[in-house]
Amino acid sequence: MVGAALALAAPLAVKAADAATTNTAAPAATAKSYTPAQVLAGVQKNSTSANKVNTLPHINTMTRAKNVNVYQVAKGVYAYGSGLAVDTDGSDPDPDPDHQGTTTFKDTNGKSLGAHHVPFYVLGDDCYDKKKPCPHFFYKEHGISGRQFALMFYKGKVIGAIFGDTQTANDQPTSDNDSRELGEASVKAASLLGINSSGTDGGVDNGVTVVIFSGSDWVVNGTNSNLNDKTQAMVDKALDSLGKSMGL
């Protein structure tokens, strides 16, 4: 990724008396740009036991292994690595037998998100342990709300995604859902990352990193028709903001 440099506008004319004057003003500074690889390396470096948020492990949605942890890698920024299980829920139809027509969070028109159009990720909808603070990472304790922006990394690719749906135990016959799970994302998110996006046989077991930016400034507003474009337009800003905050 190459940041756009700011161009200095040249004056249209100068007085003869000023022509020989030396311009001693410092050149305008340009913002440093960070590549996805640099930012991901910084996230991994900061994913240490000292920065771990949860005290009890989360469940990898794909493998069911209890080996997923969440780390605060910068102020207000939380990251975890897991697999990716494909969420087909929402206003887009899908042949997945577990498909549900609604998502927890809606677009700004009040319509459920469409998993085939909107890249979204999934978090647990409650504190499984019913304690405060929660021994597991619980989004409501960390300034995270619906449509919260995140970066998602996988095999050299990075995309933007929003918080669109929640995970809880709901007794579906083909799923062992649990609010401690991490690692589910929409059809669109999987497709953008180059992952098999089928709700029945898609997904990957490991290798996906999700980096969530908390706070109201990182909530994405829009509709099913434009949320993807708006979210991808924030990727460079997020990379540069995180790179700077991690001191890369």
Encode pLDDT of 176-189 as tens digits: 668 999 999 999 99
- Sequence letter at residue 215: G
Residue with the bigger pLDDT between 9 and 141: it is 141
Delimit the domains of the chain by residue range.
33-245
pLDDT in tens, 233-243: 999 999 999 99
pLDDT in tens, 85-103: 999 999 999 999 989 999 9
